[in-house]
Amino acid sequence: MNKNKNIGCDECHWQGFNVKGSGVYAKAELCICVQNCKECTGTGTLLSKNEKGYSYVTPCQICSVIRRNVKLYNMAGVPAKYHDVLQVGTRNDEDGVSGGHEER
Ligand SMILES: [Zn+2]
Ligand SMILES: [Zn+2]
């Protein structure tokens, strides 16, 4: 049993996403291995139940971080020449707001 919770494949170099450097801005795209995350079936969230029987939704521990990073990456609009830079917008990671809703 593989206890490593990371997701990935050779396609994304085990990062879970691919960066397309074409155009003015680099664009991060979720890799197919994340889109088909077997933990959450690609939804990014998991339905859990607590001891009282209430069900609640939690972010998928395997792929939600990657999804968020990709979103931040694209929101930051990294110029294509910096497409090597992967540490984008990870500030306030600890006490950050919990982004419940998504806009698109
Ligand atoms: Zn992959
Ligand atoms: Zn997942």
Neighbours of ion ligand 2 (CB under 5 A): 37, 39-40, 60, 62-63
Ligand nearest, relative to CA of residue 30: 1
Give residue 62 CA to ligand 1 midpoint distance, Å: 13
Ligand 2 center to 34 CA (angstroms): 7
Determine the residue type at 21.
G
Structure tokens at 77: 């609009």
45: part of which helix (H) or strand (E)? strand 45-49
- Return the amino acid letter for 41: T
Percent of the chain with pLDDT over 90: 51
15-60 pLDDT tens trace: 999 988 777 777 899 999 999 999 999 999 999 999 999 999 999 9
